[in-house]
């Protein structure tokens, strides 16, 4: 499963960051997911809610995500256009010499850390 692989990767990366920075608990993880990455945000959160129990630092961490819109570049006319709307064919010149600039990524955008209270 695609989403589980991503969740595993994110959980490992985040717990490593937490380790290096002496963080006890993460409150929230925000990801940026490309529009055409094929990642389903809802599945990702389901996987996360199941998987986070394996990491002490993540047990209270909720997963959020933002969608990054996909942009394609045309080599023929040098213009950029929306991938989802037009696909692989440039709407300006009709060329197929295009490639994806953004929209296929999955990145960790930010982490929120739980406030530690010593009461
Ligand atoms: Zn073009």
pLDDT at 45: 95
Distance 97 CA to ligand 1 centre (A): 8
Best CA proximity match to 98, nearest among 40, 31, 41, 36: 36
Distance 81 CA to ligand 1 centre (A): 9
Domains and CATH numbers, the chain: 2-69+102-113 (3.30.2320.80)
Distance 103 CA to ligand 1 centre (A): 19
Find the mean pLDDT for residues 55-78: 96
Distance 100 CA to ligand 1 centre (A): 13
- Residue pair 98/87 in contact by the 8 Å Cβ criterion: no
Which of 46-60, 85-99, 104-118 is predicted least confidently? Answer: 104-118
Beta bridge partners of residue 112, listed in sequence order? 28
Distance CA 110, CA 7 (A): 15
Find the mean pLDDT for residues 34-54: 93
């Amino acid at each position: 499963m695609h989403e589980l692989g991503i969740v595993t990767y994110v959980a490992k990366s985040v717990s490593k960051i937490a380790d290096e920075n002496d963080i006890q608990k993460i409150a929230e993880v925000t990801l940026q997911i490309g529009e055409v990455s094929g990642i389903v945000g809802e599945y990702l959160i389901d996987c996360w809610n199941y998987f986070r129990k394996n990491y002490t630092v993540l047990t209270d961490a909720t997963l959020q995500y933002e969608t990054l819109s996909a942009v394609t570049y045309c080599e023929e006319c040098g213009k950029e256009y929306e991938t989802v709307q037009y696909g692989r064919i440039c709407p300006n010149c009709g060329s197929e010499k295009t490639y994806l600039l953004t929209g296929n990524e999955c990145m960790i955008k930010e982490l929120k850390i739980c406030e530690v209270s010593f009461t």
